[in-house]
Amino acid sequence: MSEKPQTGEIFGIPYNFERPSMKRLLSAYWQPGEGMLTKKPFGIGYTLNLANWRSWIVLGVAGLLLYQQQSGESEADADGDEESSEPVEVMVE
């Protein structure tokens, strides 16, 4: 029985199912001089290259949005508005 390839591309998306080493994991996330996205060390697709400044902007925006969502949920709990959780009837003519 023939073995399936452990690495390659399907429809232009890279995959790698070889057992990752620590060196390969670290080098996948830190590649100076490369673009913002690099091939994942294990799995399917791409990951952020932390040596690129654009990746840090993406992480900062994602963290800011997560913080904003969490603070919005806690403010809604603190207000105690029962009416906001009730369904609203909408009439369309």
Q: What pLDDT digit, counting tens, does each position of 57-89 carry?
A: 999 999 999 999 998 887 766 655 555 678 888
Bridge partner list, 10: 13
Is residue 90 in a domain?
Answer: no
Is residue 66 in a domain?
Answer: yes
Q: Which two tokens stand for residue 7?
A: 């690495």
| Among 63, 59, 62, 61, residue whose Cα is nearest residue 50 | 59
Is residue 1 in a domain?
Answer: no
Is residue 91 in a domain?
Answer: no
Is residue 87 in a domain?
Answer: no
Q: Which of 5-9, 13-17, 62-66 has the lowest mean pLDDT?
A: 5-9
In the prediction, which pLDDT does 55 show? 94
pLDDT at 9 over 80: yes
Is residue 86 in a domain?
Answer: no
Is residue 49 in a domain?
Answer: yes
- How many domains, in total, are found in the chain? 1
Q: Which helix (DSSP H) or strand (DSSP E) does residue 26 occupy?
A: helix 22-29
Question: What residue numbers bound the domain in which 41 lies?
Answer: 7-78
88: region left, alpha or beta (phi > 0 left; psi from -120 to 50 alpha):
beta
